[in-house]
Amino acid sequence: MISTLRHQLVSGETTPEAILKKLAGDISARDGQTGAYLSHDLESALNEAANADLSLPLGGIPIAIKDNINVLGQPCTAGSKFLSENYESPYDATVIQKLRAAGAIPFGRTNLDEFAMGSATENSALKLTRNPHDPERIPGGSSGGSAAAVADLTAIAALGSDTGGSIRQPASHCGVVGLKPSYGRVSRFGLIAFASSLDQIGPLTHSVEDAALILQAIAGYDERDSTSLDVPVPDYLTGLNDGVKGLKLGLPKEYFGDGIDPGVRQKVEKAVQALADQGAELVEISLPHTQYAVATYYVIAPAEASSNLSRFDGIRYGHRTASPTDILDLYKKSREEGFGPEVKRRIILGTYVLSSGYYDAYYSQAQKVRTLIRRDFENAFEKVDAILSPVAPSPARKIGALGDDPLQDYLADIFTIAANLAGIPAISVPVGTVDSDGGKNLPVGLQILGPHLGEAKLLQIAKAAEAL
């Protein structure tokens, strides 16, 4: 889609202003049902469009932004009451600066689970987002608003963040492409932190080529992010159409066991076989510590969240309780009123595993298991070029189906979490739809995982899967 629009912009068939006005009209017409957007500032975007440099790679292209990434002068709520009342971003995140430098126009703030904690976008304190393919179902999360906007054709492309599958899982549920880059490949400066050793920003798009174009723009070293890697950024478009002939693709036996929806399994296996028919060699592999991934993640991520969210105290910015009796009362009531139940649950869990007497039993042990999970992938990539798996065990579930049982949503991240623990890149590519649980034509994604900083080969394989 981006390449087509770029051709039309350069040829004069359309203008950035016309594209923005059409998107705004589409949002007005359709987003009332989908609920992908929290806000969109057409006037500011039109001001940028008036000076758009159409010679740049993304010149004149509007990009929707998940509402935990700071954009100068725009709200940045993180889907939370804590930041929804009076916080306006005083700066651009590095990825926003890079998008602007490539000619793109940030347009629209998309909904998310509060502070990116969730897999359904049901945890947003501000509104409910629905899946455009079936409004009775979740779009996935936590980047559900970004995925839904792209799927609903109210966004040309969007940025999301991925801490345990938060780009790939909603991409799979909404039938779009979602890429989580390697840890350190894209700057996290300006992203409201959930779990700093796991978070990564990436694109949700209509095509693999669009994902490559956006990654090309946002990747690279940033001295303001101490985890950013100072390594060259390759040309992600070169070799994109080279296919899979001669490549070795791994099938981890732990990712194709029991518990997968039959329709999902059938679509993923059909895509895998189609890649083999194009000349790829399929290799059975093992990632033996996969069974510990969910437990490891839900020790490490809440621990980091409890530390990162300590800055939200009602003092410097964000929600402040009315008429506190003293400073301790201000802290307690501001946080009690400002945070939703899932955020509180994870803060409490994280504080517990970091507390005296439990640190060694839980957090320290989880870090050791994380090392084992990373070594599983390192050993696998000595044998194969990439790894294939489902993104999620089932299609998008019905809204409210789990009630007050968050554990089932935690377990649904079994196929995506390990990539964040290992810091490797992974992408979700649509491979068809299934009828399941009373729903029809529910999208399914194929997950492709690559070695650290192996995005170029990953995108090449994804392009071949997309073409099939």
Q: Supply the DSSP string of 244-292, one letter for each residue.
A: STT-EEEEEGGGSSTT--HHHHHHHHHHHHHHHHTTPEEEEE--TTGGG
Distance, C-alpha 339 to centroid of its chain: 22
Residues 301, 312: Cα–Cα separation, whole Å: 17
pLDDT of residue 228: 98
* Burial class for 28, CB neighbours closer than 10 Å (0-12, 13-18, 19+): exposed
326 Cβ contact list (under 8 Å, min separation 6) = none
Closest CA to 78 of 338, 294, 301: 338
- Length of the chain measured in residues: 468
What are 195-220's pLDDT values in tens digits?
999 999 999 999 999 999 999 999 99
pLDDT of residue 405: 80
pLDDT of residue 420: 98
Closest CA to 147 of 464, 391, 346: 391
Q: What angle do CA 400, 421, 69 make, to 5 degrees?
A: 65
pLDDT of residue 468: 84
CB 386 within 8 A of CB 450: yes
Helices 262-277 & 455-467 angle (0-180, nearest 10)? 100
For residue 15, the SS3 value is coil
- The residue ranges of every structural domain in the chain are 1-247+387-468
Q: What angle do CA 41, 44, 45 make, to 5 degrees?
A: 80
> If you ran DSSP here, which 8-state letter would residue 207 be given?
S
Closest CA to 83 of 311, 235, 259, 304: 311
Active site residues: 66, 142, 166
CB 422 within 8 A of CB 302: no
In the chain, DSSP finds a helix count (H) and a strand count (E) of: 16, 11
pTM of structure: 0.97
User: How many C-beta atoms lie closer than 10 Å to residue 331's C-beta?
Assistant: 17
Residues 434, 351: Cα–Cα separation, whole Å: 41
403 Cβ contact list (under 8 Å, min separation 6) = none
Q: Phi, psi (5° rounding) for residue 462?
A: -60, -40
3 Cβ contact list (under 8 Å, min separation 6) = 209, 210, 213
For residue 348, the SS3 value is helix
Strand-pair partners of 463: none
pLDDT of residue 404: 74
pLDDT of residue 29: 98
Render each residue's pLDDT in the chain as its tens digit; 468 residues: 999 999 999 999 999 999 999 999 999 999 999 999 999 999 999 999 999 999 999 999 999 999 999 999 999 999 999 999 889 999 999 999 999 999 999 999 999 999 999 999 999 999 999 999 999 999 999 999 999 999 999 999 999 999 999 999 999 999 999 999 999 999 999 999 999 999 999 999 999 999 999 999 999 999 999 999 999 999 999 999 999 999 999 999 999 998 999 999 999 999 999 999 999 999 999 999 999 999 999 999 999 999 999 999 999 899 999 999 999 999 999 999 999 999 999 999 999 999 988 999 999 999 999 999 999 999 999 999 999 999 999 999 999 998 778 888 888 899 999 999 999 999 999 999 999 989 999 999 999 999 999 999 999 999 999 998
Strand-pair partners of 37: 110
CATH code for 1-247+387-468? 3.90.1300.10
Residues 105, 16: Cα–Cα separation, whole Å: 9
- Dihedral (Cα; 235, 237, 241, 243), 10-degree rounding: 40
Quote the radius of gyration of the chain (alpha carbons, Å).
Answer: 21
Residues 188, 161: Cα–Cα separation, whole Å: 9
Residues 220, 227: Cα–Cα separation, whole Å: 11
For residue 223, the SS3 value is coil
First to last CA, the chain: 18
